[in-house]
Amino acid sequence: MLKLDNFAFKTLKTRPVVSDNVSTSILLQAGFIRQTMAWVYNYTTLWLKVLRNIENIVREEMDNYGANEVLLSALSPKSYWEKTQRWDKVDVLFKVPAHEWKEYALNPTHEEVVTPLMNEFLESYKDTGKCVYQIQNKFRNEKRAKSWILRGREFLMKDAYSFHIDGEEFDKYYAGMQKVYMNIFKRLGLEEVTYMAVADWGDFTEKFSHEFQVVVPIWEDKIYICEDCRTAHNEEVIDLEKGFSCSNCSWEKHRVEKASEVGNIFPLETKFSNAFGLKMADENNKPQDVLMGCYGIGISRLMWVIAEYFATEKWIAWPASIAPASHYIIVMWEQNIEAAEKLAEKLESEWKTVILDDRMWRKVWFGQKAWDCELFGIQNRIAITPKTLEQGGYELTIRGQESQIVSL
């Protein structure tokens, strides 16, 4: 349990107005975040709990799909980027000078690191279909931010990479990853507003890539959604002069929504495997080109989007799967601390998560504690007082419902 008597962070009495979205102001008032510099943020304890809960959902779904978690180096040598001819082409690349005239990259993505790594382990057709992923901070020298938060210079990302020597097998794996992603967004409470959108293929492939776009007030993209099959298309792939025609079903009726991209998947084909000489032997022991796929989720960006989507005028109504805690216990008197701790331990034995507000009345009055519970977005508030104990229990208030006395 998290006890607030020794908690290092405080809420603000008034809400700062600092951006064009509600959630950032709430998070600042709740003490969840503070800004280090432009587009770089510190996460305090409760925001970190939300982040870890999102991470765990992503990790569970990736593990269930058979991917292997790794942790790759944040720095990479200039020579890796020269092999892929991207040292001077990636405009957001942080270049780090070092001793002896050497330079390194502070990685914005990890194709240049994971490919030579897997070259040491992948040998033959028996290894096809292997996938590795990591959850790690990325660094990009973005020129601007959007809505304070959507584009940062440091952010947490889940990036995964798969390796194949058969095109049909790759297509099957790619389609499976689409389902993995949609299941992640379902568990995060975003199923109804998340669309898999056809997007630009970039420099890697002649095929389309796919983005996962959430319809939310803070946005960067416009998506065209087919009203027949629900397939979405980023505006960048729509020929506005010819008009809309769904790439999946050819239906023309559509609606346009403003959305934020929280994930993407795309074929890398052989760009990186060929650059690093990665081959796998087929059944006849002949070396074959290796097809790669890349699968990203911007976890910190996703967290901001969730906060904005679930923000109300007063608080953020977190989905139960990622809330910083499920229960908030208020105790006002020292003689009731033991009862509160026993209740917290009982709840935790039932796989609940608890914040125990054990700040005594001389420091913080009940009204402030109740307000902090709301500001933190905790759904279940419990009050233990001499009066409730006389009645044999505690007062439980579930957000949006009347209070009730529950037996201990």
Q: Are 184 and 297 in contact (CB under 8 A)?
A: yes
pLDDT tens for residues 360-398?
866 789 999 999 999 999 999 999 988 899 898 999 999
Q: Which of 97-106, 168-177, 345-354 has the lowest mean pLDDT?
A: 97-106
Is pLDDT at 59 greater than 90 in this prediction?
A: yes
Checking phi first, is residue 28 left (phi over 0); if not, alpha (psi -120 to 50) or beta? alpha
Is pLDDT at 331 greater than 70 in this prediction?
A: yes
Q: Are 229 and 248 in contact (CB under 8 A)?
A: yes
- The mean per-residue pLDDT over the stretch 17-21 comes to 74
Q: Domains, the chain, ranges and CATH?
A: 32-309 (3.30.930.10), 325-407 (3.40.50.800)
pTM for this entry: 0.93
Is pLDDT at 60 greater than 60 in this prediction?
A: yes
Is pLDDT at 109 greater than 90 in this prediction?
A: yes
More confident residue, 150 or 188: 188
DSSP 3-state of 161: strand
Cα 336–Cα 338–Cα 343 angle in degrees, nearest 5: 100
For residue 150, what pLDDT band results from cuts at 50, 70 and 90? low
| Mean pLDDT for the chain overall | 92
Nearest to 373 by CA among 41, 2, 34: 2
| Residue 145: predicted pLDDT | 56
For residue 241, what pLDDT band results from cuts at 50, 70 and 90? confident
* Most confident residue range from 20-34, 80-94, 198-212: 80-94
Contacts of 407 (CB under 8 A, 6+ apart): 392, 393
| Residue 19: predicted pLDDT | 67
